[in-house]
């Protein structure tokens, strides 16, 4: 499944590039963001391959690199989202406040699940399932570029959430088929993903979410865009 998750991301971003909606002329912080997040995807696939091949020692050494890498992802991820919202570059199928809160909480959810996996690294069954759920949260941008979100307004966010939840559901069903029971790590991981989505919906519609948006866009072009209204569609 690690390869499937990676393919979702590669397919989503490749389609954007082919359609001319992405450019290598983007600001440097966008390239750093891409390097870090695709780098994590490569690391995740590599770590799974190392375990499959019995290279446990190298897996553990690379794992500590992942700790620092994850910290950089959180900082850069939040920054890039804030800059995108500040310049008024939110995709038209999300309200600006929703997009800002969604991307912020998604990267924090990923970091929380991954941190829990690291803390429980001696409990292999917990470790790998929580890392799996953390990686599943990162497939959201890939699905967001593959799904017809312009035609799913106002349910674009829920469509992406439903797509990423396919991965833990597959894990749950695989456990049930293989052992006859479901490991509790799945409920914690999937539960954290569901709680994140509920928090996104609730916070983005609240005064706190609007205040967060206002603080980010203050003095920038995004300040002219209403936080809870959909930007104009470029579609005819």
Q: What is the pLDDT of residue 100?
A: 98
Residue 163 lies in a domain: yes
Residue 45 lies in a domain: yes
Q: Give mean pLDDT in consecutive 10-residue pieces for the chain, a chain of 236 residues.
A: 96 80 77 95 97 94 94 98 96 97 98 98 96 98 96 97 98 96 98 98 97 97 94 79
Residue 188 lies in a domain: yes
Residue 11 lies in a domain: no
Buried b (16+ CB within 10 A) or exposed e, 23-40: eeeeeeebeebbebbeeb
Residue 19 lies in a domain: no
DSSP 149: G
Cα pseudo-dihedral 15, 31, 136, 92, rounded to 10? -60
Buried b (16+ CB within 10 A) or exposed e, 189-226: bbebbeebbebbbebbbeeebbebbeebbeeeebeebe
Q: What is the pLDDT of residue 20?
A: 64
CA angle 111/116/117 to nearest 5° reads 95
Q: Name which of 15, 138, 132, 11 is nearest 74 in CA terms.
A: 138
Residue 140 lies in a domain: yes
Domain interval for residue 48: 26-222
0.85 cut: is pTM over it?
Answer: yes
Residue 195 lies in a domain: yes
Query: Which two three-digit tokens encode residue 220?
Result: 């920038």
Q: What is the pLDDT of residue 118?
A: 96
Residue 43 lies in a domain: yes
Number of domains observed in the structure of the chain: 1
């Amino acid at each position: 499944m690690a390869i499937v998750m990676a393919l979702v991301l590669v397919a989503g971003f490749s389609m954007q590039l082919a359609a001319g909606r992405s450019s290598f002329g983007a600001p440097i912080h966008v390239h750093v963001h891409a390097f870090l997040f695709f780098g994590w995807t490569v690391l995740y696939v590599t770590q799974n391959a190392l375990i499959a091949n019995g290279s446990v020692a190298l897996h553990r050494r690379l794992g500590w690199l992942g700790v620092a890498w994850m910290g950089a992802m959180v900082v850069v991820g939040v920054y890039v989202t804030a800059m995108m919202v500040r310049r008024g570059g939110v995709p038209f199928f999300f309200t600006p406040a929703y997009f800002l809160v969604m991307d912020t909480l998604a990267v924090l959810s990923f970091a929380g699940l991954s941190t829990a996996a690291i803390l429980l690294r001696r409990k292999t069954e917990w470790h790998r399932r929580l890392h799996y759920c953390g990686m599943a949260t990162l497939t959201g941008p890939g699905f967001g570029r593959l799904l017809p979100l312009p035609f799913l307004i106002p349910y674009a966010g829920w469509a992406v959430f439903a797509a990423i939840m396919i991965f833990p559901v597959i894990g749950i069903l695989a456990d049930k088929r293989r052992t006859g029971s479901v490991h509790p790590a799945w409920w914690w991981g999937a539960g954290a993903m569901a709680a994140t989505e509920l928090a996104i919906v609730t916070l983005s519609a609240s005064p706190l979410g609007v205040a967060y948006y206002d603080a980010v866009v203050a003095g920038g072009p995004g300040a002219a865009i209403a936080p809870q209204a959909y930007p104009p569609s470029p579609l005819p």
